Each structure stands twice: as C-alpha cells, then as structure tokens.
Amino acid sequence: MSLTVVGSIAYDAVKTPFGERERMLGGAATHFALAASFFDEVRPVGPVGDDFDEESWRILRTRGTVTDDVELVEGGRTFFWKGEYSANLNQRETHVTDLNVFETFSPKLSQASQDADVLFLANIQPELQLNVREQCTKARFVAMDSMNLWINIAHQALREVIGTVDCLILNDEELEMLTEKPTLLQAAREVLSWGPTAVVAKLGKYGAALFTADDFFALPAYPLSEVIDPTGAGDTFAGGFVGYVAAHPGEALDHGLLARAMAYGTALASYNVEEFGTERVERLTAEEIQARVADLSRMTAFAADPVALRA
C-alpha cells in the first residue's frame, strides 16, 4: 500500500513569542509526510529548487518516505514563506510568500504515486488538486485541505474538487465561509451534500470535529503547557488522520475508523507545535504517539450515569 500527498515543500522563516527560525524546512506536504510516515510509505509530490539542501532531503525521507516524485527544478528556488505569530498565537501575519518553483508547477506522478491506495491533496490551487485527483484512479480514500484564498478567488474550481473527494479537512471558519452557513453543523451538512462522506473541521487550539452522514465526533486538542510554533499543525493532523486510514486497508471507512484516525491526528499535531517546524516530529517515537492517544481516550471518556432528575 502507499499514500501519495501533493502539496508544498518549502522553506519557512517563522517568528513566535518564543523564538524564531530564519530558514527551516516546512510546507504542507513536508509536515503531512513526517506524520503519515508512521503509518505507511508516503510519496510526496511537489517541486523544490536547487537551493534544496541535503539536510532537507534527509528530513523529508524520515521513516522511509519516497521522494521520487519530488521534482527538482534546476535554476529554480524552493517556495519560501515568512510569517509571524501574535502574543497568544491566535493570529499570524504573512510577511513574505515567494511561490518560486510553485509558479509553474505541473504535477507529474510516477506510476507508483498514481497507484496510491490513499491520497491527500494538501492546500494548493484547486486546479492542481483536481489534476492530481484525476491521475490517482485507484485511491480508495481521498482527503483534501484548502484555504480562504481559494474560497475567495477559485470558488467554482474548489467546489469541483470537493465533489471528487471522500473527506474535506478545513478550519471551522473556512467551512462556514465556503458554504455561507451560520453554524458548523449546517456547513458540514452542506459539504456532505456535495459528495464527500466525511468532513473534518479543524478547530485550532480547540481540537477537531468529524461530521459524517450518521454521526458527529469531536476531540479537544491535547492540553499543552507550552506551544512554541503552530506552523504545520493542520498538516501534521492530516498526516496522522489520513495515515491512520491508510494503515487500515481492509476496514470499512466508517465513522468509528475516522474517529480513531482523529485521535492519531490530534496526538501528532500536539507534538508538532511543541517545537519549531519539523524539529519535534522528526525524532518522535511510536511509543510517544500511543501514549497521547491513550491519554486522549481517557481525557474524553465519561460514564453516562443516569441520575434521577426532578420534574
């Protein structure tokens, strides 16, 4: 089995109240791959420039990730993003977005990447997502992310891709913006009517919620004493979530499976934000992930105890 992801591979300059990094490996496909590599062989698809250094290739290949479809554009420069977070990390300001090699990117998938069992379309132009979606004809589960930019300037194309996937993973505010609905439940139901069988709302520091035709499931974020750098948390969540599905090829893609997948996404994301960029997840262990999944199970379970109520 294998898991293909298309999305950005980038260098990030990040400043938070707790420190800064001038240039570190980042990008949606990178964070996704680092998390998903715990579950399956991952094949990222995306361009890099010839400034992409050996150390970055090494990190990208953590836990066996196959970089055959990472396209090295000679004479090009790798996507670069520079941003800064507010004191409470609730807001971030983008200072620089240099698309560089992404400006002319046209995804070319090897046969192995096209044959992926599971596919994740990270946040890129909806037209590119659709292009990749159409190349991966054998995928039994396809999930995607997006962002407010595409909701505003490429609404129709975005609607079209959403209609071809099994699961949309998006911030709650973006879901409400996308559907023009006043509550998350209405927004999720609207998206489910467009084709997907599942919608995951990312709630930032409040966790994530899962909507299917049958049911609802929600998990808080793992409680952390310190959050150092939220960059990549959403993609790390997606890597754990989609990776978990990829690791269960024989199972029905039902609400229960996706709920358990949410726990792995949440555990992975909690480690990601404890240090800058990929630093924590690079050296993360399976035991550490299992420990937080078990914690989350305990921290959300309660025994319904039907107390006698007064009338």
Tokens of 139: 């995928």
Contacts 24+ apart (CB under 8 A), 256-260: 258/167, 258/198, 258/200, 258/210, 258/212, 258/217, 259/210, 259/217
Closer of 108 and 283 to its own copies (Cβ)? 283
Minimum distance of its own copies from residue 16's CB (angstroms): 11
Binding residues vs its own copies (CB under 8 A): 17, 37-40, 63-64, 87-89, 176, 182-186, 189, 203, 205-207, 209, 211, 215-220, 223-227, 244, 247-248, 256, 259-260, 262-264, 285-286, 289-290, 293-294, 296-311
- CA 309 vs CA 305, 306: distances in Å: 11, 8
Rounded Cα distance, 221 and 239, in Å: 16
Minimum distance of its own copies from residue 307's CB (angstroms): 5
Tell the residue number behind the tokens 């000679």, with chain if given: 74
Minimum distance of its own copies from residue 193's CB (angstroms): 14
Minimum distance of its own copies from residue 285's CB (angstroms): 8
Nearest to 203 by CA among 169, 228, 240: 169
Closer of 65 and 146 to its own copies (Cβ)? 65
Closer of 75 and 182 to its own copies (Cβ)? 182
Rounded Cα distance, 144 and 170, in Å: 8
Closer of 18 and 93 to its own copies (Cβ)? 18
Rounded Cα distance, 260 and 200, in Å: 13
Minimum distance of its own copies from residue 185's CB (angstroms): 5
Closer of 137 and 225 to its own copies (Cβ)? 225
Strand partners, 191: none
Closer of 3 and 119 to its own copies (Cβ)? 3
Distance of CA 35 to the CA centre of its chain: 9
Minimum distance of its own copies from residue 156's CB (angstroms): 25
